[in-house]
Amino acid sequence: MNFYETPAGKMFFEHQLPQIIQSLQSISDSLNRQNPAVKLPLTEGADILKELYLGNYEASVFKDTAPSAALNNTVIIKQRMLLSSLPKNSQKLFEDYYEATVIRNNAVVEQAYKSGFCTATQLIFAGLSESEGKEGL
């Protein structure tokens, strides 16, 4: 008995092989279709993906800019005024408090960055893959 005469062979040749051929044709059509290239405005530079992958990328929102530098100067002035008005023992307590809040805030920012990166990656892959529920849309 030949494979094409078995139930598995009939299933393969009558159903699975045509589906494989149709899928390959669809892939070929997609690859041959001339899609216009979309030029994304990258302000960061050409190595953004490499730097992101290596962990060296810092989002521009966290870089010093003129507005953030002005805000930082205001905070520094207010902090110096507060410290000068405190007794010596309270100054040390305030500096310890401030250091603890900086460490906490940095951890929160790092966690938010990781979460945003993971979410963005999952959304990209979700957009690239075909979901099972699209037929009903």
Q: Show me where the domains of the chain are located.
A: 1-31, 48-85, 87-129
Contact 11, 20 (CB under 8 A): no
Tell me: pLDDT of 39 over 70: no
- Confidence category of residue 137, pLDDT binned at 50, 70, 90: very low
The structure tokens 């408090």 sit at 97
Phi, psi of 95 (to 5 degrees): -65, -40
Q: What is the pLDDT of residues 44-66, one digit of tens each?
A: 455 666 676 677 766 665 566 67
The pTM (predicted TM-score) of the whole model is 0.41
pLDDT tens per residue, range 102-114: 999 989 988 888 8
CB 42 within 8 A of CB 48: yes
Amino acid at 32: N
> What CA–CA distances, in Å, run from 68 to 46, 52, 56, 98, 107?
25, 23, 21, 19, 20
pLDDT tier, 21 (very low <50, low <70, confident <90, very high otherwise): very high
Residue 68: pLDDT over 60: yes
Q: Which residues contact 13 (CB under 8 A, 6 or more apart)?
A: 4
